[in-house]
Amino acid sequence: MAGKIAAIALNTFKEAVRNRVLYVLLFFSVVIMLGAWVASTLSIDDETKIVRDLGAGAINFIALLIAVFVGIGLVYNDLDKKTIYTIISKPISRWHFLVGKYLGLLLTIAVNVLFMTWIFCAVLYLRGYLAGDVMYEALYFVDDEGYLNYRGVFAHLFYLVWSAVKALVFGLLHVVMFGMEGVLGIPGAAATQGLFMTSVLTILEMAIITAFAVLFSSFSSPTLSAFMTVIVFIIGRLNQELYLFADTMVQRAGGMEALGGGQVVAYYFSVVAAHLSPNLAVFNQRRELAEFQDIQLGVMDISYGIAYTAMILTIAAIVFNRRNFK
């Protein structure tokens, strides 16, 4: 059974990797990261803060788009093109298919998030190496007579290429060392602090969102599924604000009894939505990232993510078990 689910997951990953949409999204993420770099040079605030904030935001946003578009597309394709016929008639249960598909999508998202993290770390390192003072120190020297000398165009070019290579290597180290490459004493490593953890949080967040994408596409059209998945994401992100909103409303009115008709509806809507939706706020620590504070990932958060995902997938399996394939 595990072998069959793994086979489905790996095939899903294969399918996703050959999906053109994925590359468009990845390209887009690189554009945002470079854009963040440019934007930071125009800012008067602490530059690194802005780059880190925008970059991590880009990774999160692109991961969401992958979960929504690639995720829904792959489930829908199987139903629409009827590949599902020959799969479901093999000795597997329907939920094996669903879970395999889900795990394949999650693998796709994880690999892509880590890939984007690598590229983003490389951008941060490169940004450090090309910073004015660092670069001038490498390219100019003061000779014996006290004159300032330029090392020449070739040295300049070499410096650029060498910086890029170093940035890519150190960026990769960040990912494979779980964000701990700083202990090697790599120059400029401080800029990437906390990024790996932020990406792990993004993957956990997308684990929940992808479960919803699979749930919705197990019974509705792709457009509607995409729409509903994005709504869940937004409500999940605003989860805490919804409670706050409901409370504030009651306080302002001076008690539940004083609420008007429309307000009562708004109150219950907010409270119910807040209760049902996943609390995604715990996975969003971009403020802490920007401030170079520690990113918190507790056992509770991980357990919460897994339990919530399992619940949604169970519902998806129940829905999927009952449907006729057109």
Partner 1 sequence: MAPVIEINGLSKVYVRDVIGFENGRLRVRLKDRRTVALKPLDLTVEEGEIFGLLGPNGAGKTTAIKILMGLHFPTSGDARIMGRPLEDNSVKAKIGFLPENPFFYDYLKGEEFLDYYGQLYGMDKASRRRRIPELLETVGLSHAAQLPLRGYSKGMLQRAGLAQALLNDPKVVFLDEPQSGLDPFGRKEVRDLILSLREQGKTVFFSSHILQDAEMICDRVAILHQGERIAVGALSEMLSAKVKEYEVGFSDVPKEIVEKTKKGAARFVERPNEYLAVFDKEDEARAAVRAILDANGMLESFIARKETLEEYFIREIEGKREAERAALANGGKS
Residue 86 in the binding site for partner 1 (CB under 8 A): yes
- Using CA atoms, how far residue 119 sits from 14, 38, 66, 171, in Å, is 22, 16, 17, 7
Amino acid at 311: M
Within 218-277, the residues that bind partner 1 by CB under 8 A are 221
Residue 156 in the binding site for partner 1 (CB under 8 A): no
| Helices 299-322 and 195-217, axial angle in degrees (round to 10) | 20
Q: How far, in Å, CA of 277 to CA of 281, rounded?
A: 11
Are 197 and 302 within 8 A, CB to CB? no
3-42 footprint of partner 1 as x/- string (CB under 8 A): xx--xx--x--xx--x------------------------
Question: Considering just the CA atoms, what is the radius of gyration of the chain in Å?
Answer: 24
Q: Which stretch binds partner 1 (CB under 8 A): 21-29, 40-48, 89-97, 264-272?
A: 89-97
In this complex, which beta carbon is closest to partner 1, that of residue 275 or of residue 323?
323
Closest to 278 in 3D by CA, of 257, 248, 245, 306 = 306
Q: How far, in Å, CA of 281 to CA of 298, rounded?
A: 13
Number of residues that bind partner 1 (CB under 8 A): 25
In this complex, which beta carbon is closest to partner 1, that of residue 32 or of residue 79?
79
Q: Which two tokens stand for residue 190?
A: 């401080």
In this complex, which beta carbon is closest to partner 1, that of residue 82 or of residue 151?
82
In this complex, which beta carbon is closest to partner 1, that of residue 18 or of residue 287?
18
In this complex, which beta carbon is closest to partner 1, that of residue 88 or of residue 111?
88
Residue 85 in the binding site for partner 1 (CB under 8 A): yes
Q: How far, in Å, CA of 73 to CA of 204, rounded?
A: 21
Kindly state the smallest distance separating residue 102's Cβ from partner 1, in Å: 17
β-sheet bridge partners, residue 109: none
Q: Which two tokens stand for residue 269?
A: 């809507």
Query: Going by C-beta distance under 8 Å and a sequence separation of 6 or more, which residues neighbour residue 15?
Result: 74, 104
In this complex, which beta carbon is closest to partner 1, that of residue 16 or of residue 313?
16
Within 304-323, the residues that bind partner 1 by CB under 8 A are 322
What's the DSSP call for residue 150? Answer: E
Kindly state the smallest distance separating residue 19's Cβ from partner 1, in Å: 9
Of residues 27, 82, 149, 151, which one binds partner 1 by CB under 8 A?
82
Of residues 92, 111, 168, 250, which one binds partner 1 by CB under 8 A?
92
Are 54 and 286 within 8 A, CB to CB? no
In this complex, which beta carbon is closest to partner 1, that of residue 101 or of residue 166?
101
Q: Which stretch binds partner 1 (CB under 8 A): 91-99, 135-143, 174-182, 205-213?
A: 91-99
Query: Going by C-beta distance under 8 Å and a sequence separation of 6 or more, which residues neighbour residue 172?
Result: 118, 122
Q: Which stretch binds partner 1 (CB under 8 A): 82-90, 117-125, 139-147, 241-249?
A: 82-90
β-sheet bridge partners, residue 141: 149
In this complex, which beta carbon is closest to partner 1, that of residue 5 or of residue 110?
5
Q: Residue numbers of the site for partner 1 (CB under 8 A)?
A: 3-4, 7-8, 11, 14-15, 18, 81-93, 221, 322, 324-325
